[in-house]
Chain A
Amino acid sequence: MAKILVVEDEPAIADLILMNLKLVGHTGFHTDRGDKVLSDMEIYKPDLIILDIMLPGKDGFTLMKEIEPMQIPVIFLSARDELTDKITGLKLGADDYMVKPFAAVELLTRIETVLKRYKIGGGNVFAMDNLKVDLDAHMVLLDSCPVELTIKEFILLEILIRNKNIALSREKLLELVWGYDYMGETRTVDVHIQRLRKKLGLDDNIKTVYKMGYRLEVPR
């Protein structure tokens, strides 16, 4: 997965992001001052930067101007929710802009999207035990033998992989796989999960989390 530099002066928030990054397999580094970012970039060589705006030492917008020529993707994560700030951030070349408070799942999804766009991380092949999933080629190999999955099953699997170790509610999965306007029942999710477990032998790994939903658990 990717190396991500978190620039955030609030330790509580920085740790929260780092813990979530670790969960899905990214490697996170932390910088708490704006004026330390460039030197830390030299050390860590990150694939992506999550950047706060109000920082001691040097603010995020100034930093963005300096990072922009290096072609490293940046996602702003700030408490500033003014439209002008968002526009300034995006115009300076940031790939995304998120406002605090944020949901971890959303941040991870946006990171995924940006990485995909930059074709970074090589995380598009997921391997666990005897299972190998090539997310780009839409190919699933169990014990080196291809497994046939329907489109919906594959999307569901992909979402579980991308949010591994995080529980996703049935409603959330329904929305992500079938779309907002799908009128079906959450029962549909259960059926598809059952099929995935059966086809891929993931009975132990795709956990039903009581009252919450499903979670793909991967050894860490």
Chain B
Amino acid sequence: MKFWQKAYICIMLVFFIGFDAVLLLLVTKSTSLSTQEKFATAENERYVIQKSLQSRISGISKLYEEMNAKNLKMYVAPYGDYYKGQGIFMELYYEGDLVYSNFLQTENLSQSENFLQTEKDRPELSIKPGDKSTILREVDGIHYYIVTGFLEEPYSNIKYVYIKDIQDLVDYKSEIIRYTVIIGIVIAVLLSVLLLVLLLKLNAPIRKLNEITKEIAGGHYEKRVEIKSRDEIGELAGNFNIMAESVNTHIRELSDITEERQRFIDNLAHEMRTPITAIMGYGEFLKYTNHTPEESIKAIDYIIRQSERMKNMAHKLIDLAGLGKMEITFETIELSEILTQVENTLVPNLKEKHLHIEKELQINLIQGDKDLMESLILNLMENAVRALPDEGIIKIKSCGAENGWTLSIADNGRGIEEDKISKIYEPFYRADKSRARAYGGAGLGMALCKQICDLHHADIEISSRLNKGTTVTIKFTNLPQLYDYSEIQKSYDIPATKKELQNNNKGANKR
């Protein structure tokens, strides 16, 4: 069952019990009040009539010597007729016998006879002298208020029965009840409709939230809830949006990574294809054909060159893959030493093109991983060598900067088109495809440089102008932990360490 249905049922239940109880009490009280009032009036009436009857009868005793049923009846009859007009009936019993009755004389004779004659049906008649009985009785669908009593002395042998039609009271009661029931039903219906509308309205944000949750679960991670209310649901919606946003961000990151990886693999597959095609093709050529010695030398040369290219690629790939997980160790190294080593590696290329290297090292002692720094500088220098024409110049400069130092490697070579600079860190991207391949480049050098810089928390920047040259600037930031060993030492929580040791010892003992 849904929450709003539960709330609906609960509220309706509480309301009906409360409302009906109130109605019931009201009706009961109201009817009992009017009954009491009616009965009090009737009692007064009866008293007046009995009193006047009494005095009347005492008048009879003055007129007639003997009181009998006949003259009593004759005497009382006008009275009876008078009151009958007001809905008040009377019966008079003399010595236990009925002398006079104007109650139900004409209509439904049999009933009235019955009513009159069978005393056992009317137990109220058999009262002891001096007593009085009051009952309500229904005759032919009409309610009567019946009071039976004796007249006062000396006529205590005369029983006077006061009968009053109180059907209006009964009608009033039933009318009140009927009205109350109708009111109750009408109000209940109205209220239930109103409640339903209100509940649905209150429930709307929850349903909306629910729908959005389903949509998000269905993969529409960009969906958000728009609930402006300031209640708990509004708060929940706000928090829900925050959650959805962070989920979305993570998913986007993940899909970016997956995409990047896929692109990397695609590129790798493509890059591998050329050397493999060449190696296989020349291999087959050598195996199956009757070739000339010149052809065989050419084929073997290609096989060696393409194998080298693959080897290069494999090495750089291994480096790249390794860098991803690597925790580097910072050590103090001499920049000039690294540069010398790189230059030695590049001697053949430098000599071939008659390139010059100008160095200006304001900073020589640096912090970093020696092998990686060497790899970084070698890659950048290789790029510079490729970009340079004969007699070109490479300028290497290091200098201090705010909170760190910068290294810049500049050449006056071909330069890179501006729109290509942003893509340059992508694996297998080559600013100049044909030339880079001719040199056996794998297209991974800059990706590697970027990784190395990231590991050193350094920023790498390239500025270039076509046919003027390229400058690569790397900004290294001093890491606090490199200089504040004392701070780190202090921050060790020695008591905790002790505690841990103790715990470990305990554990060891138990074992």
Q: Are A16 and B285 in contact (CB under 8 A)?
A: yes
Given contacts A11-B438, A15-B302, A16-B278, contact A217 B285 (CB under 8 A): no
Binary per-residue interface labels of chain B (277-307) against chain A in the complex, 1 for a CB within 8 Å, 0 otherwise: 1101110110111111001001100100110
Q: Does B344 contact A (CB under 8 A)?
A: no
Q: Which B residues are in CB contact (< 8 Å) with A127?
A: none
Nearest opposing residue in chain B for A57, CB measure = B434
- Additional A-B contacts beyond A10-B274, A79-B274 (9; CB < 8 A): A12-B282, A16-B302, A79-B273, A100-B274, A101-B280, A104-B288, A167-B287, A209-B288, A215-B288
CB distance from B436 to the nearest CB of A (A): 11
The answer to whether A16 touches B270, judged by C-beta atoms less than 8 angstroms apart, is no
Given known contacts A102-B281, A104-B285, A167-B288, is B273 in contact with A12 (CB within 8 Å)? no
23 pairs from A and B in contact (CB 8 Å cutoff): A9-B433, A10-B278, A12-B274, A12-B275, A12-B302, A13-B278, A16-B278, A19-B285, A19-B291, A19-B299, A20-B281, A20-B289, A100-B274, A101-B277, A101-B280, A101-B281, A102-B277, A103-B280, A104-B284, A166-B288, A215-B288, A215-B289, A215-B290
B288 contacts which chain A residues (CB < 8 A)? 104-105, 166-168, 209, 212, 215
Q: Which residue of A lies closest to B303 (CB)?
A: A12
Which chain A positions have C-beta within 8 A of B434? 9, 32, 56
Is the CB–CB distance between A167 and B289 below 8 Å?
Answer: yes
Bitwise, A26-66 to B at CB < 8 A (1) or not (0) is 00000010000000000000000000000010000000000
Q: What's the minimum C-beta distance from B312 to chain A, rounded to whole angstroms?
A: 14
How far is it, in angstroms, between the C-alpha of A20 and the C-alpha of B285 when the chains are bound? 8
Enumerate chain A interface residues (CB-CB to B < 8 A): 9-13, 15-16, 19-20, 23, 32, 56, 79, 100-105, 165-168, 207, 209, 212, 215, 217, 220
Q: Which residue of B lies closest to A101 (CB)?
A: B277
How far is it, in angstroms, between the C-alpha of A217 and the C-alpha of B280 when the chains are bound? 22
Compute how far the CA of A11 lies from the CA of B280 in the bound complex, rounded to whole angstroms. Answer: 15
> In the bound complex, do residue B285 and residue A13 qualify as a contact, i.e. CB atoms below 8 Å apart?
no
What 4 pairs across the A-B complex have the smallest Cβ distances? A101-B277, A12-B278, A167-B288, A16-B281
Complex Cα gap A12–B278 (Å): 6
Q: Check A100 against B290 for contact (C-beta < 8 Å).
A: no
Contacts of B346 in A (CB 8 A): none
| Chain B, interface SS category | helix
| Residues of A with C-beta under 8 A to B295 | 19
Residue among B274, B276, B438 facing the most chain A CB atoms (10 A cut-off): B274
Asked if B457 is an interface residue, CB under 8 A from chain A, the answer is no
Is B207 among interface residues, defined by CB-CB distance under 8 A? no
Residues of B within 8 A of A212 (CB): 287-288
A11 to B298, CA, bound (A): 12
Would you give the shortest CB distance from B402 to chain A, in whole angstroms?
Answer: 43
Closest CB-CB distance, B408 to chain A, in whole Å?
30
Q: What is the distance, in angstroms, from A176's C-beta to the closest C-beta of chain B? A: 14
> Would you give the shortest CB distance from B381 to chain A, in whole angstroms?
25
B282 / chain A contacts, CB cutoff of 8 Å: 12, 16
B437 within 8 Å of A (CB atoms) = yes
Q: Which of B280, B289, B292, B433 has the most CB of A within 10 A?
A: B289
Q: Mark B347-370, 1 if CB is under 8 A from A, else 0.
A: 000000000000000000000000
By beta carbon, the residue of chain A nearest B282 is A16
Known contacts being A56-B433, A101-B277, A101-B280, is A12 close to B306, with CB within 8 Å? yes
Residues of B within 8 A of A79 (CB): 270, 273-274, 277
Whether A165 touches B290, Cβ cut-off 8 Å, given contacts A10-B437, A16-B302, A104-B284, is yes
Q: Which of B277, B292, B438 contacts A13 (CB 8 A)?
A: B277
Q: Smallest Cβ distance from B305 to chain A, in angstroms?
A: 7
Which of B449-473 touch A at CB < 8 Å?
Answer: none
Which residue on chain B has the smallest CB distance to residue A100? B277
CB-CB nearest in chain B for A168: B288
Q: A103-B284, A104-B284 known; A165 and B289 CB under 8 Å? A: yes
> Inside 8 A of A165's CB, which chain B residues have their CB?
289-290
Closest to A23 in B: B289
**Which residue from chain A places its CB closest to the CB of B284 in the assembled complex?**
A104
Tell me the nearest residue of chain A to B302, going by C-beta: A12
- The docked-state distance in angstroms from the alpha carbon of A9 to that of B434 is 7
Least CB distance from B284 to A in Å reads 6
Name A211's closest neighbour in chain B (CB-CB). Answer: B287
Expressed in whole angstroms, the minimum distance between the Cβ of B290 and any Cβ of chain A is 5
- B residues within 8 A CB of A32? 434
In angstroms, how far is the closest chain B Cβ from the Cβ of A90?
Answer: 21
The smallest beta-carbon distance between B316 and chain A, in angstroms, is 19
A15 to B273 CA separation, bound complex (whole angstroms): 16
Question: Complex formed: what's the CA distance from A220 to B273 in Å?
Answer: 31
Chain B residues within 8 Å of A13, by CB:
274, 277-278, 281
Nearest CB of A to B218, in Å: 30
Which residues does chain A contribute within 8 Å of B292, judged by CB atoms?
A: 220
Q: How far is the CA of A101 from the CA of B310 in the complex (A)?
A: 15
Which residues on B sit within 8 Å (CB–CB) of A166?
A: 288-289
B70 to chain A, nearest CB (A): 131
The distance in angstroms between the C-alpha atoms of A168 and B289, with both chains bound, is 9
CB-contact partner of B298 in A19, A102, A105, under 8 A: A19
Q: What is the CB-to-nearest-CB distance from A163 to chain B, in angstroms, rounded to a whole number?
A: 9
Chain A residues, Cβ within 8 Å of B280: 101, 103
**Measured CA separation A144–B299 after assembly (Å):** 40
Most chain-B CB neighbours within 10 Å: which of A12, A32, A102, A207? A12
